[in-house]
Structure 1
Amino acid sequence: MNKDPKQIANKRAQELKDSIQDYLDVQENIVTGEKIKGELARRKERILELLNGDEQDWKDWKWQLQNRINDVNTLAKILNLSEEEKKEIEYVGENYRWAVSPYYASIMDPVDPECPIRKQSIPIAHEIKDEIGKSDPMAEEYTNPSGNITRRYPDRLIINVTNQCAMYCRHCQRKRNIGEVDKQTPRHLLEESIEYVKNHPEIRDVLLTGGDAFMLSDDTIDWLLTELDKIPHVEIKRMGSRTPVTLPQRITQNLCDILSRHLPVYVNTHFNHPKELTEEAKNATKKLAKAGVGIGNQSVLLNTINNDPHVMKKLCHELLTAMVRPYYIFHAKCVKGTSHFITRVEEGLEILEKMRGYTSGISIPTYIINAPDGHGKTPMLPEYLVSQGKDTIKIRTWENKIFEYPNIAPKQKE
């Protein structure tokens, strides 16, 4: 008896829909920047009133920087803080710097201490009490051959251009470098770094980061990219910046024009939660894309913030609507004062299991553990190769179905 292909196809289509029903059931309850657009506008007005600013000020990235919130009394006028929270913030602030741009403060839920934006931004006492980890788990002091370089790989390196950021993430791997004063890397160290690149023809890829590379002036960014463009063996330039997330006003037309003159340029940014994909953030990333800049996102897997398969999937979907390619999920590094953010590796693998096959491949980042002491990024992957025979292998599909697959290369004609 012949089977009806349409009937088989429709049955399979229903099976496929059923396989993501758990996500479909919860996705509308996952908070995104777009969903709280009206609420964000009201918070913005309250913050502008508090800081004596107007709409033009809000759009000015330099005004945003000059008005970063870095004292408890001002923060308490934006967020409902308990007396205990205020004391903790002041206590931690004596050792670790904190600051939040007015824009990023507007994304925080003023009444919910579990808000994922607040958790990334506002200090808690654990940062001081935590004895786990190292201040420099990547051993970066041993990977600086010249200037202000970090080199861990054969054909690429980092030039650390500043210690400044628009806000200071509580999970930052370089908390030790922040200090109390914003410092751009001195010109002579930048020149020394560029000279090192010139003298090492194996270097084809240079990443400018810090801190945040977009905290440099437009003129300095233009100068750095121009100098790198003069080096024949440098094929691509990358810039590490969280400003599309925390200070999207920094992505000005002038900055985009500069970047477009120095293509190929790639920006690595750092969205951790769908709530960060606001209209302003998406406008910023789309401006970069329109300028010809490739954009990749490097999330960090953070306990109680995004260590949920549905939240991470929603984040990756939102990123793609903003012209940003999900690139990496980093397992949180064991930085002293940040152990409350660290998850088990199995949680990252579970996220990948719930994405591979269940959403488009372009949505799926690579899960990475940074090997200790700067020994490089190591991908963590679910096991899809079950066994190997002489001429066959057994594979496991995303639906946990096992298949035998031929492993014989066709003979070539002589």
Structure 2
Amino acid sequence: MAEVKRITNFDNYTMIPEPDKEQLRKIQDKFSYRLNDYYVNLIQWEDPKDPIRKLLVTPSEILSEYGMMDAKGYSLEQAPGCMVIYRTTALLSITEDCGAETLPGLKYIAANTEINSVIITGADSFRPATERLHQLLSRLRDMKHVHVIRLRTKMTSFNPKRISEDMELLYTLHDFSTPEQRIYISNHVNHPRELTTDAIRAFRALHDAGVILNNQTPILKGVNDDPVVLAELLDKLSGAGVTPYDFFVNRQVKGNHEFVLPLEEVYQIVEEAKYRTVGSGKGVRLSINHRSGKMEIMAINQGKAYLKYYRSRNDQEGILILDCPPGATELDELQNDELARRKLQRNAATEPLASENSDSETSSEIGVL
């Protein structure tokens, strides 16, 4: 099979417009794993509105692609590279080297036995060398209180052969994903055109390795804000054995205004997509993230939004009913009901989680399940 080649020089790619080349050069250092001939060739460059093009040339820091918990103003880091986001869930940040920088976080998790779920985040989980990933998984599996390990990856979209053709990686996953304690892999496929033959082959290889696969997708204006497109995505994911875990509202941050949609419109798009799909796609949730936790948007009807916590900082439960004015794009714009407002503030209180003692700037690429 042809090897996927990383692009370091765009001069020979005459089909790429010059303005796009300039943008790609800007993101080349930070997001080099995206820039390969496989993904570039998925794009119809003659179409200025091509959704894959828009995903590639937009810097990820202005796309909150993974529905992070809004941690602005909160101290979440308990050890370098380790954040406890909920009482029993920790994020462990890795880099491409995935070496000594994870040791403080691993020590913290080992010492705090109430943590039973670890999400490996930071760099793409499949960017570090397989040997490094093996060492990390081995350390976590030695901690008997850690029952769930979750990896997150874009490689099934950007470079699926990194998975399907690396037998050492697949053997590693097979060794540590046991019938009693499976490894979960959260994929981030945003458009059905990313589900190529190579991507399906990568999913099949992961299935054979014994991991559990799901998918999280942000609703992005100009990319996938079409119920027909989303229904096709749901059908293809289900057909490939990947559970559509959730769609989520793209958080508004500086520079991403063109991708943001009103909450009511997002809800209507998702509901129509679910109506059109079959199989496991009908169970997909629409999620919204807030500094108080993660919620499901159950319905938006007659100016009211009905939401339910399924993860919160203070283990709060229950349903919130909030006014939803036309054009509202985020949760804080819905806090018009006094009782609901107080509940949100209570859940977002800044009491430390575990032994919170340091400041951390949370990446917009953190994926919180």
- Corresponding letter in the other structure for 1:184: D
Match of 2:205 among 284, 287, 291: 287
2:90 matched to which residue of 1?
A: 157
Matches of 2:28 and 2:241, distance apart in 1: 39
Does the CA-based 8 Å contact 1:152-1:375 persist in structure 2?
A: no
- Pick the aligned partner of 1:323 from 228, 232, 241: 241
Which deviates the most, 216-225 or 357-366? 357-366
Residue of 165, 169, 173 corresponding to 1:259: 173
Higher helix fraction (1 or 2): 1
CA distance in 2, matches of 1:276, 1:149: 31
CA contact (8 A) 2:191 2:233 kept: yes
Match of 2:229 in 1: 311
Which residue is equivalent to 1:377? 294
Q: Give the count of matched residue pairs.
A: 289
Match of 1:333, SS state, is coil
- In structure 1, the partner of 2:277 is 359
Q: Which amino acid aligns with 2:170?
A: C
* Map of 1:108 onto structure 2: 43
Q: CA deviation at 1:151?
A: 2.1
SS of 2:85's partner is: coil
Q: 1:224 and 1:317 mapped to 2: Cα distance?
A: 34
Retained in 2: the 8 A contact 1:307–1:347?
no
Aligned pair 1:68/2:6, yes or no? Answer: yes
Output the CA distance in 2 between the equivalents of 1:94 and 1:228. 32
Per-residue deviation at 1:333?
A: 2.0
- The amino acid of 2:83's aligned partner reads T
Name the amino acid aligned to 1:122.
V
CA contact (8 A) 2:287 2:295 kept: yes
Within the candidate set 135, 143, 163, 2:76 is matched to 143
Letter in 1 for 2:105: S
The Cα shift of 1:142 comes to: 2.3
In 1, distance between residues paired with 2:29 and 2:154? 23
Name which of 66, 82, 97 aligns with 1:184: 97
Residues 140/289 of structure 1: CA separation in 2 closer, same or farther (3 Å cut): farther
Q: 1:205 aligns with which of 103, 111, 117?
A: 117
- Secondary structure of the residue aligned to 1:261 is helix
Label 1:333 to 1:150 Cα distance change in 2 as closer, same or farther (>3 A).
farther
| 1:236 and 2:148 correspond | yes
Q: Find the residue that maps to 1:111 and give its secondary structure.
A: coil
Q: 2:104 is paired with a residue of what secondary structure?
A: helix
Task: Give how far 1:69 is off.
Answer: 2.4
| Structure with the bigger percentage of strand | 2
Q: CA deviation at 1:357?
A: 5.0
Corresponding letter in the other structure for 1:69? I
What CA deviation, in whole Å up to 9, does each residue of 1:24-56 have, x standing for no partner?
xxxxxxxxxxxxxxxxxxxxxxxxxxxxxxx44
Partner AA of 2:172 in structure 1? I
Distance in 2, Cα, partners of 1:236 & 1:105: 35
- Quote how far apart the aligned CAs of 1:242 are: 0.6
2:6 partner SS:
coil
What SS does structure 1 have at the residue aligned with 2:200? helix
Letter in 1 for 2:47: D
1:179-202 per-residue CA deviation (whole Å, 9 max, x = no partner) reads: xxxx53551x31111111111111
Aligned to 1:278: 196
Distance 2:151 2:108 in 1: 18
Other-structure match for 2:320: none
Q: Deviations over 1:195-249 (max 9, x none)?
A: 1111111111111121201001111111111111111111111101110111101
Kept in 2: contact 1:257–1:291 (CA 8 A): yes
TM-score of the two chains, using structure 2 as the length reference:
0.71
Q: Secondary structure at the match of 1:202?
A: coil
What amino acid is aligned across from residue 82 of structure 2 in structure 1? I
Quick one: structure 1 residues 260 and 96, their matched pair in 2 at CA, closer, same or farther if it must change by over 3 Å?
closer
Preserved contact between residue 77 and residue 84 of structure 2 (Cα < 8 Å): yes
* Paired-residue identity, %: 27
CA distance in 2, matches of 1:261, 1:85: 42
**TM-score when scaled to structure 1?**
0.64
RMSD (Å) for aligned C-alpha atoms: 2.9
* Structure 1 residue 139 displacement after superposition: 2.8
Q: Secondary structure at the match of 2:246?
A: strand
Equivalent residues of 2:192, 2:229 under 8 A apart? yes
1:149 Cα deviation from its structure 2 partner? 1.4
Larger radius of gyration: 1
1:147-171 residue CA offsets vs partner (Å, 9 max, x unmatched)? 2013211211111112xxxxxxxxx
Unaligned 5+ segments in structure 2 are 64-68, 305-369
Q: 1:275-333: per-residue Cα shift (whole Å, max 9, x none)?
A: 00000000001110111110110111111110111110110100111111101112112
Cα separation, partners in 2 of 1:70 and 1:367, compared to 1, 3 Å: farther
Amino acid at match of 1:368: S
Secondary structure of 2:176 counterpart: coil
Match of 1:250 in 2: 162
The runs of 5 or more residues in structure 1 that have no matched partner are 1-54, 59-63, 131-135, 163-182, 387-414
- The answer on whether the counterparts of 1:353 and 1:382 sit within 8 Å (CA) in structure 2 is no
Report the Cα offset of residue 347 of structure 1.
2.3
Deviation per residue, 1:70-120 (Å, 9 max, x gap): 54424x42x341x55455656x55997665122111111132121111100
The structure-2 alpha-carbon separation of the partners of 1:87 and 1:103, relative to structure 1 and needing over 3 Å to count, comes to: closer
Task: Measure, in 2, the Cα distance between the counterparts of 1:152 and 1:89.
Answer: 33
Q: Using the alignment, how far apart are the partners of 2:80 and 2:185 within structure 1?
A: 22
Once the 2 structures are TM-superposed, how far is the Cα of residue 354 of structure 1 from its aligned partner? 1.4
